[in-house]
Amino acid sequence: MKYTSRKKLGSYPTIGVIVSITLALFVVGLFGLLIIYSVQLEKVVRENVKMQVYLNGNLTETQRLQIENKIISMNFVNKNGDNKGIAYISKEEAAKKFIGETGEDFTQFIGDNPLKDAFLISIDPGYHSKTEIEKIKKDIEKINGVFEASYVEGLIESINQNIRKIGLILLGLVSLLLVTVILLINNTMRIALFSQRFLIRSMQLVGARQSFIQRPFLLRAAMLGLIGSIFAIALLFSVINYAQSEIEDLVLLHNQEHFLILGGSMALTGILISVISSFFSIRKYLHLSLDELF
C-alpha cells in the first residue's frame, strides 16, 4: 500500500501537462488567427480604395487608350499580376448600372445620357494618405482629355485611423496573452517537476552528472510541448473549418501561408517554453538541500 502511494506521488502528470499546454496554445492560436484575419481584411479594404477618372466627351478610341496607358505607367496604380489596376467604364455601362440599382431610367426624362466615360483606378496601399491622394488627383487632372478625378474624401483617413487603433489594441492583447501563456506553461512544468524532485535527488546522489539528469526531463518537456501544440493546432483548424462553413465570406480572408506560419509558431512556442521552464526547475531542485525538498 505504501509503495503504491509513493509511486502515485512521484508519477509525472503527463495528461495534465498536455491539456494545459493545449489550452494555452489554443488561446494563443485564436488571437493569432484574429491578427491574420485583421491583416487580410485590411488588404481587402485597401484593394478597394479606388479613384474615378472622368473623361471629356467625344474622345477617340486612340485618345482614350493613350490616357489609359499614361495612367497605368504611373507608380500609384495598384498592379497585381494580370490585373492592370485600371478598368474602363463607358457612360452606357454606368447608366445601365445606375438604372439597375435605382430602378429609374433617367434617360427617359432627360432625353440623353449625361454621364461620362470613366476609368476606375485601384490605388496602391503605399499611397493611402490624404496628401498622396490629393497629389494623385491633381496629377491625373493635368492629363489632356481628363475631365475630373474624384474619390471618397475622408475614406483614406478613416481607414488609416481605424487600422492604427485595431493594431494597437491587438498588440496590447497579444502581449498580455503571451505573458499569461508563458506563466501558465511555466507553472504547469514546475508543478509537474515538483513530483519528480526526489527522483532528481536520487540520480544526483548516485553520481549522475547534471547534464545526464536534465536530458530525459528536457526531452520529455519538448515532447509534451510538441504533443500539446499538435492538439492545439488541430483544435484551431477545426474552428477555422467550422467558421468558414458558417460564414462563406470568411474564405476571402483565408491565407494558407499565414496559417502554416501560425501553426509552426504555436509548435515552437510550446516546445521552447516547456523546455526552458523545465531547465530552470530542474536546476532549482539540483541545488536544493535535502531538507528543502520536503
Q: What is the pTM of this model?
A: 0.69
Looking at residue 17, its pLDDT comes to 87
- List the one residue out of 192, 206, 193, 268 whose CA is nearest residue 232: 268
Is it the case that residue 197 has pLDDT exceeding 60?
A: yes
pLDDT higher for 40 or 207?
40
| Alpha-carbon gap, residue 134 to 141, rounded angstroms | 11
Outline where DSSP puts E strands in the chain: 50-55, 86-89, 118-122, 146-150
- List the one residue out of 229, 214, 234 whose CA is nearest residue 275: 214
Looking at residue 54, its pLDDT comes to 93
Domains of the chain, CATH where assigned: 2-44+158-293 (no CATH), 50-150 (3.30.70.3040)
Is it the case that residue 1 has pLDDT exceeding 50?
A: no
Q: Which of 21-35, 181-195, 263-277 shows the lowest mean pLDDT across its residues?
A: 181-195
Whether the CB-CB separation of 100 and 91 falls below 8 Å is answered with: no
- List the one residue out of 172, 198, 189, 158 whose CA is nearest residue 285: 198
Average pLDDT, the chain: 82
Cell reading at 148: 475630373
Looking at residue 146, its pLDDT comes to 92
Question: Residues of the chain with pLDDT > 90: what percent?
Answer: 23
The tens digit of pLDDT for each residue in 42-98 reads 888 887 788 999 999 888 899 999 999 999 989 898 887 557 889 999 888 888 887
The tens digit of pLDDT for each residue in 103-138 reads 777 666 776 777 889 999 999 888 888 889 899 999
Burial class (CB in 10 A: 0-12, 13-18, 19+), 164: exposed
The tens digit of pLDDT for each residue in 4-41 reads 444 444 567 888 889 989 998 998 898 888 888 888 88
Q: Which of 27-36, 101-110, 170-179, 218-227 shows the lowest mean pLDDT across its residues?
A: 101-110
